Amino acid sequence: MKDTGSLDLMTITVKVFGGLRESFQGGTQLQQLPPASTLASLITKLNADFPDLSADLAKGLDAGYLNILVNGRNIRFLQGHETMLQDGDIVAFLPPVGGG
């Protein structure tokens, strides 16, 4: 008999690129979230789980230069931080790349 009181978690693949990789213990992590979680919920969890990443994320988000993609789509064209996540989604954090 299934326990109807248990909460099934969804798995989100989180990828970070550039200088954020050092604070994230590599480039890819799997994160577990409750159903109906938003991108904001994921960011809150990442800030708690990876304190070194927290400052870099906050700086990039505040300055508006950190691009966040959900399944390859920029959140600016979705619902921003209120974008609903689904089991199996891939969320990528892309800092700007400079050069010349």
The CATH number covering residue 76 comes to 3.10.20.30
Which pTM value belongs to this model? 0.86
pLDDT of residue 27: 86
Give the residue numbers spanning the domain of 58: 11-19+54-100
The string of pLDDT tens digits covering residues 35-92 is 999 999 999 999 999 888 888 888 877 777 789 999 999 999 999 999 999 999 999 9
The string of pLDDT tens digits covering residues 18-46 is 888 887 877 899 999 999 999 999 999 99
Task: Give me Rg for the CA atoms of the chain.
Answer: 14
Tell me if 29 is assigned to some domain: no
Tell me if 42 is assigned to some domain: no
Secondary structure element (H or E) that encloses residue 26, with its range = none
State both tokens at 98. 């400079």
How far is residue 4's CA from residue 43's CA, in Å, rounded to a whole number? 28
How far is residue 78's CA from residue 97's CA, in Å, rounded to a whole number? 23
State both tokens at 90. 């891939």
